[in-house]
Amino acid sequence: MMTFSNLSEDNITLDLATKGKHSALSRIAVKLARGTGLDDRAILRGIWRRERVGSTAIGRGIAVPHVLLRSISSPVASFTRLAPPIDFNSPDSDPVDLVFTLLWPRSEARTFLPALSRLFRTVRAPLIREGLRLAQSPEEVMAILMSEARQVDGIPWRTNATHSVALR
Protein backbone atom coordinates (compact mmCIF):
# COMPACT_ATOMS: atom_id res chain seq x y z
CA MET A 1 0.00 0.00 0.00
CA MET A 2 2.99 2.26 0.40
CA THR A 3 2.89 3.43 -3.22
CA PHE A 4 -0.66 4.74 -3.06
CA SER A 5 -0.28 6.22 0.39
CA ASN A 6 2.35 8.48 -1.18
CA LEU A 7 -0.04 9.62 -3.90
CA SER A 8 -2.03 12.76 -3.24
CA GLU A 9 -4.90 14.24 -5.23
CA ASP A 10 -2.57 17.14 -6.06
CA ASN A 11 -0.39 14.70 -8.01
CA ILE A 12 -3.21 13.33 -10.13
CA THR A 13 -3.69 14.74 -13.63
CA LEU A 14 -6.52 13.60 -15.86
CA ASP A 15 -6.55 13.83 -19.66
CA LEU A 16 -3.18 15.47 -20.16
CA ALA A 17 -2.66 16.19 -23.86
CA THR A 18 0.97 15.92 -24.99
CA LYS A 19 2.88 15.55 -28.22
CA GLY A 20 4.74 12.43 -27.14
CA LYS A 21 6.76 10.68 -24.49
CA HIS A 22 9.28 13.47 -23.87
CA SER A 23 6.56 16.08 -23.59
CA ALA A 24 4.53 13.91 -21.20
CA LEU A 25 7.50 13.15 -18.95
CA SER A 26 8.57 16.81 -18.96
CA ARG A 27 5.15 17.98 -17.85
CA ILE A 28 4.95 15.29 -15.18
CA ALA A 29 8.42 16.29 -13.90
CA VAL A 30 7.39 19.95 -13.68
CA LYS A 31 4.28 19.07 -11.67
CA LEU A 32 6.23 16.81 -9.32
CA ALA A 33 8.88 19.50 -8.86
CA ARG A 34 6.26 22.06 -7.86
CA GLY A 35 4.89 19.74 -5.20
CA THR A 36 8.24 18.63 -3.80
CA GLY A 37 10.50 21.63 -4.24
CA LEU A 38 12.87 19.54 -6.34
CA ASP A 39 14.38 20.70 -9.61
CA ASP A 40 12.20 19.54 -12.52
CA ARG A 41 15.30 19.12 -14.71
CA ALA A 42 16.86 16.78 -12.14
CA ILE A 43 13.65 14.72 -12.00
CA LEU A 44 13.43 14.56 -15.79
CA ARG A 45 17.13 13.65 -16.14
CA GLY A 46 16.66 10.77 -13.69
CA ILE A 47 13.54 9.52 -15.42
CA TRP A 48 15.21 9.71 -18.86
CA ARG A 49 18.29 7.92 -17.56
CA ARG A 50 16.00 5.06 -16.51
CA GLU A 51 14.07 5.14 -19.83
CA ARG A 52 17.34 4.75 -21.75
CA VAL A 53 17.93 1.44 -19.95
CA GLY A 54 14.55 0.26 -21.25
CA SER A 55 11.02 1.52 -21.57
CA THR A 56 9.05 1.68 -18.34
CA ALA A 57 5.88 0.77 -20.23
CA ILE A 58 4.60 -2.54 -18.88
CA GLY A 59 1.79 -3.21 -21.36
CA ARG A 60 -1.98 -2.75 -21.39
CA GLY A 61 -1.56 1.01 -21.79
CA ILE A 62 0.44 1.48 -18.57
CA ALA A 63 3.87 3.00 -17.91
CA VAL A 64 5.69 3.40 -14.61
CA PRO A 65 8.57 5.88 -15.06
CA HIS A 66 10.66 6.01 -11.90
CA VAL A 67 13.88 7.29 -10.42
CA LEU A 68 15.83 6.75 -7.20
CA LEU A 69 16.92 10.12 -5.77
CA ARG A 70 19.33 11.04 -2.99
CA SER A 71 17.56 14.37 -2.50
CA ILE A 72 14.29 13.02 -1.04
CA SER A 73 13.55 11.23 2.22
CA SER A 74 10.16 9.73 1.41
CA PRO A 75 8.56 8.35 -1.76
CA VAL A 76 6.48 10.55 -4.03
CA ALA A 77 3.97 9.18 -6.52
CA SER A 78 1.92 10.71 -9.30
CA PHE A 79 -0.77 9.41 -11.62
CA THR A 80 -1.37 10.91 -15.05
CA ARG A 81 -4.00 9.86 -17.54
CA LEU A 82 -3.01 10.87 -21.05
CA ALA A 83 -5.51 11.81 -23.74
CA PRO A 84 -4.84 10.74 -26.36
CA PRO A 85 -2.57 7.79 -25.51
CA ILE A 86 1.06 8.00 -26.70
CA ASP A 87 3.72 5.62 -27.97
CA PHE A 88 5.95 4.55 -25.09
CA ASN A 89 7.73 1.57 -26.71
CA SER A 90 5.48 -0.78 -24.79
CA PRO A 91 6.23 -4.52 -24.96
CA ASP A 92 2.72 -5.17 -26.32
CA SER A 93 2.94 -2.14 -28.69
CA ASP A 94 -0.19 -0.61 -27.11
CA PRO A 95 -0.03 3.17 -26.66
CA VAL A 96 0.14 4.35 -23.05
CA ASP A 97 -2.60 6.35 -21.37
CA LEU A 98 -2.03 5.50 -17.67
CA VAL A 99 1.26 6.77 -16.22
CA PHE A 100 2.31 6.15 -12.62
CA THR A 101 5.49 8.09 -11.84
CA LEU A 102 7.53 7.21 -8.76
CA LEU A 103 10.29 9.23 -7.12
CA TRP A 104 11.95 7.01 -4.54
CA PRO A 105 14.61 7.84 -1.94
CA ARG A 106 17.86 6.09 -2.76
CA SER A 107 18.25 5.50 0.99
CA GLU A 108 15.08 3.35 0.84
CA ALA A 109 16.02 1.40 -2.29
CA ARG A 110 15.31 -1.90 -0.53
CA THR A 111 11.60 -1.00 -0.31
CA PHE A 112 11.32 0.08 -3.93
CA LEU A 113 10.96 -3.27 -5.70
CA PRO A 114 8.26 -4.57 -3.33
CA ALA A 115 6.29 -1.32 -3.83
CA LEU A 116 6.74 -1.52 -7.59
CA SER A 117 5.60 -5.13 -7.56
CA ARG A 118 2.49 -4.16 -5.58
CA LEU A 119 1.69 -1.43 -8.12
CA PHE A 120 2.09 -3.89 -11.01
CA ARG A 121 -0.23 -6.41 -9.33
CA THR A 122 -2.82 -3.70 -8.75
CA VAL A 123 -2.92 -2.40 -12.32
CA ARG A 124 -3.06 -5.90 -13.78
CA ALA A 125 -6.68 -6.03 -12.58
CA PRO A 126 -8.90 -5.08 -15.55
CA LEU A 127 -11.47 -3.43 -13.27
CA ILE A 128 -8.81 -1.13 -11.79
CA ARG A 129 -7.49 -0.12 -15.23
CA GLU A 130 -10.92 0.55 -16.64
CA GLY A 131 -11.95 2.47 -13.53
CA LEU A 132 -8.88 4.69 -13.90
CA ARG A 133 -9.74 5.28 -17.55
CA LEU A 134 -13.29 6.34 -16.66
CA ALA A 135 -12.58 8.33 -13.48
CA GLN A 136 -13.96 11.85 -13.58
CA SER A 137 -11.89 13.35 -10.76
CA PRO A 138 -8.75 12.88 -8.67
CA GLU A 139 -11.03 11.82 -5.81
CA GLU A 140 -12.36 8.96 -7.94
CA VAL A 141 -8.84 7.91 -8.88
CA MET A 142 -7.87 7.79 -5.19
CA ALA A 143 -10.99 5.79 -4.32
CA ILE A 144 -10.22 3.26 -7.06
CA LEU A 145 -6.61 2.83 -6.00
CA MET A 146 -7.40 2.69 -2.30
CA SER A 147 -10.15 0.14 -2.89
CA GLU A 148 -7.46 -2.29 -4.00
CA ALA A 149 -6.35 -2.51 -0.40
CA ARG A 150 -9.78 -3.94 0.44
CA GLN A 151 -9.72 -7.10 -1.68
CA VAL A 152 -10.60 -6.14 -5.22
CA ASP A 153 -12.80 -9.19 -5.72
CA GLY A 154 -16.13 -9.38 -3.97
CA ILE A 155 -16.41 -5.90 -2.48
CA PRO A 156 -18.66 -3.43 -4.29
CA TRP A 157 -16.95 -0.18 -5.17
CA ARG A 158 -18.68 3.09 -4.63
CA THR A 159 -17.13 5.34 -7.27
CA ASN A 160 -19.05 6.15 -10.43
CA ALA A 161 -16.20 5.04 -12.70
CA THR A 162 -15.79 1.60 -11.23
CA HIS A 163 -19.51 1.15 -10.79
CA SER A 164 -20.10 1.69 -14.49
CA VAL A 165 -17.37 -0.82 -15.37
CA ALA A 166 -18.74 -3.39 -12.91
CA LEU A 167 -22.19 -3.13 -14.50
CA ARG A 168 -20.94 -4.02 -18.01
- Beta-carbon contacts of residue 89 (< 8 Å; ≥ 6 apart): 21, 55, 57
> Which of 107, 123, 45 minimizes the C-alpha distance to 74?
107
Active site residues: 66
> Cβ-count burial of 130 within 10 angstroms (0-12 exposed, 13-18 middle, 19+ buried)?
middle
> Pick from 81, 78, 95: which is nearest to 11 by CA?
78
